[in-house]
Every structure is written in structure tokens, then in C-alpha cells.
Amino acid sequence: MKSIINKNYTKLLTATFITRFGDYIDSIAFSWMVYVMTGSRVLMGTIFAISIIPNIIVLPFGGVLADAFNKKTITVLGDLLRSLSVAILAVFYFLNILEVWHLFVFVSINSTFESLADPARGSILPNIIEKEDYVKGSSWIGTASSVGALIGLSIAAVLIALFGIWVTILIDAFTFLLSGMIIFSIEFKDKRETVAEKPKVKDYFILIGEGVAYLKTKGVLIALLLLASFVNFSMVPYNILRPIYVSEVLKMGVEGLSYLGVSLLVGMITGGYLMGFKGKKVNPINAIAIGLSLVGLTYMLLGVPAYTNFSVNTTLIFVILMSFLFGASVPIVTAPMNAAIMKTTAPEMRGRLSSIMGVVVLCTMPLGGFAVSIIGDSISVSLLFIIMGMSGILLSLIFWLFNRNKKLV
């Protein structure tokens, strides 16, 4: 296999592809399983919100682990533990002993393992590529993630129909195992100028405090953090309520989730491909503002079919097109944001900074999940999409007005 940038980067790219492939097969299977088991918008929102809480609590400690210990070891261990957790969930479902309260337990356990390992995984990239490749490297990682997700979404419904939900979820467990093996083979030079000593329990809080103090000195990172937080909050209805949207608007079953997801991911691949080649030539501020406004516009338009007299086929075509454009807009926002974060952050602080910023962003997600639960059936899914889309357009304008004369990276 020909290396992209370098051999170790190609391995990371491959591991990313594999895990995203499994994740998105699992996302269809799990969301449909929850919908079938509960049929409740309130429970769907609550499960989503609860799954984020361990991230908020554990993620800062994961950042300290990433700065103080071997990143590869932490990442591999996280993949293995998540593989085990997902496999047990699949077996429980197969044995017909899975209950609703089990879902809360499994999502909490899996989120904990994810939070302990993800800062280390995210800190690997800037250690295996040079600064001039940050935009390109981030874009291709995003593209590999999107391609893996696209393939997963494309075949998820077929796998569920042929083999059932439990086998589909079990495939995700295997992808974590395979990813861990690939990450284990990566070699990279640690670029940290200083390495934190192996911390004692009380030192974790001190090191987290140092990360917060460092963040306060970086105005660019704070601006991006606020932007990402709002975007995450506004995306919660889309992430939680897609099964209901597919059922009510598209009049389809689980295959509708695949249509929606595939078109979204094809768009993300297209946008990632363009940013991978053209990202260096685009003003980052303009790219983020334009990308975010397109995300908001297409999000809003996804809510329109419910208020029209479109036929079922016309609605499906319109939604697929909007989902494609929605996905294509995402890398236009995320590639320059990720590059700015990597360039602005000192190597020895990347683990802590990524975890602290991740916690702040994640805090908006349970808020969104609980909001969906509280709203319940009082507002339609389509109206929520329209409201959140309009908010994204407004945010993009505010961001551009306040930052148009600044140099981001």
C-alpha cells in the first residue's frame, strides 16, 4: 500500500477507516435497536444524554494520561476494552436478556473507555506528520473516517436484514480489535519538549488546572471552543432523532437511516477531498464561516419536506441532496479548525488541551439530549431541524464579523 505522507500516517489512516466503518454499522444497529426496544423519544434523548456524562467526567483525566504515559499503549488498551464491551452487548441481545437499563450501563461503560483513550489517539497525529502537513493530514483523516462510515452505512441495513442486529454490533467489536493491532504497530517520535512525570492521584487535578490556565491564554482556541460547543448543541436533535425523522418524513424503516447516512458521508468525503488538496489556499476564517452557514442552511432545509406536498420519491431525493450538501460542508469547517488547534497548542499540552476542550464541547450534548427529552412530542422533528439550522446561519455570520480580520493559522 502506497504511503500517504508517511508509513505511520497511513497506518493511522487505516485504523481510523476501520473503526469508523464499525462505528457506523453499530450506529445504525444500536439506534434502531433502541427505537425498537423503547419507541420513546424521551428515552432516546435520555440514553444519549447519559452516554455523554462519563465523557465529561473522565475526559480530563484521559488528557493527563495522554500527556504523561505512552499514547500508543493507552490507545490500544482503549480499543481492546471497547471491543470487549461492545461484544458483551451483542451477546446480551442475542441471548434475549438485554433490558433498557442495560443500555444505560453499556453506553456509560463504553463512553468511559472512549474518554480515557481518545485524547491519546488524537495526540498521535501531530507526532507523525510535520506542521506543514497539518491541514492535509487532518483532511485526509476526516476523509478516511467518512469513507469508512460511508461503507458501514451502506451495508448496515443489509447486514441487519441478513444476520440480525447482534451480528452487526459484533462486527463493530471486531473492528476495535483490528484497530488496536494496527495502532500497536505505529512508530512515532514524541515531539513534546517536556514530558509530565507519572502523576499521583492529586497531581491529575494540578495538571488539569495547568491545562485550563494554558487555554485561557489562547484567545483563538477559546473562540473555536465556543463555536464548536454551539455547533454540537445544535446537532443533538439530528443525532438523536434520525430514526423518528426517517419514519415520519421519509416513511421508511431502517433502510432510511442508511440512505440518510450514505448521502451525508458521500458529501463529507467530497468536502474532505477538496479541503485536502485546496485547504492551504483558503482563508481559514472564511472557510469556517462559509462552511458553517452551509451546514445551517442544509440542516434547515432538511426540515422543509414535512411542510410541503412532495411525493414520497421527491421527498427522498430532496433529503438525499440536502444530506449530501450538509456533509460536504462539514470538512470546510473542521479541517481549518483542527489545523488551528494543532498549530496553536504546545506539544506537551495537546493531550490536556484536547480533553479539556472536549469536555466543554461535550457538556452541550447532554444539555441538548435533555432538552429533546423535555420537549418530547411538543415540537416536531422537522421544526427542530429548521430552528437549529437557522441558528447555525446566524452563528456563522457572528463568527465572521468578529474574526474576519484575524489570522487563524
The 10 Å Cβ neighbour count of residue 219 is 10
Predicted confidence at residue 207, as pLDDT, reads 65
Rg value, the chain, Cα = 20
Set of cell numbers at residue 320: 438525499
Determine contact, residues 198/69, Cβ cutoff 8 Å.
Answer: yes
Return the closest-CA partner of residue 337 out of 345, 347, 326. 345
Alpha helices in 164-249 (DSSP H): 165-184, 201-216, 219-248
**CA–CA distance, 388 with 205 (Å, rounded to integer):** 36
Predicted confidence at residue 1, as pLDDT, reads 43
Return the closest-CA partner of residue 8 out of 103, 101, 137, 159. 137
Place of cell 491519546: 120
Predicted confidence at residue 305, as pLDDT, reads 92
pLDDT tens for 379-405 read 788 888 898 899 889 988 888 888 777
**CA–CA distance, 288 with 297 (Å, rounded to integer):** 14
Determine contact, residues 294/325, Cβ cutoff 8 Å.
Answer: yes
Q: What is the mean pLDDT of each run of 10 residues along the chain (409 residues)?
A: 67 86 80 75 68 71 70 85 90 86 84 78 72 67 74 77 85 90 78 52 63 73 78 77 82 79 81 72 78 91 90 90 89 77 70 68 69 70 88 87 70
Q: Which residues of 223-242 are buried (b: 16+ CB within 10 A; e: fewer)?
A: bbbebbbbbbbbbbbbebbb
Predicted confidence at residue 215, as pLDDT, reads 73
Tell me the torsion sign for CA atoms 219, 357, 368, 246. Answer: positive
Residue 307 burial (10 A CB sphere; 0-12, 13-18, 19+): exposed
Place of cell 423519544: 41
* DSSP assigned state of 132: G
**CA–CA distance, 168 with 53 (Å, rounded to integer):** 26
Predicted confidence at residue 193, as pLDDT, reads 45
CATH number for domain 7-403, candidates 3.40.470.10, 1.20.1250.20, 1.25.40.390, 3.90.1300.10: 1.20.1250.20
**CA–CA distance, 141 with 279 (Å, rounded to integer):** 14
Prediction pTM value: 0.62
Predicted confidence at residue 190, as pLDDT, reads 59
> Given 3-state DSSP classes, what are the helix, strand and coil percentages for the chain, each rounded to the nearest 5?
85, 0, 15
DSSP notation for 59-89: HHHHHHHHHHS-HHHHHHHHHHHHHHHHHHH
Residue count (the chain): 409
Set of cell numbers at residue 121: 489517539
Return the closest-CA partner of residue 83 out of 57, 59, 55, 114. 114
User: What are the structural domain ranges in the chain?
Assistant: 7-403
Predicted confidence at residue 126, as pLDDT, reads 72
Place of cell 468536502: 271
Return the closest-CA partner of residue 244 out of 26, 36, 24. 36
Predicted confidence at residue 116, as pLDDT, reads 78
Predicted confidence at residue 128, as pLDDT, reads 73
Predicted confidence at residue 377, as pLDDT, reads 64
Set of cell numbers at residue 169: 454490533
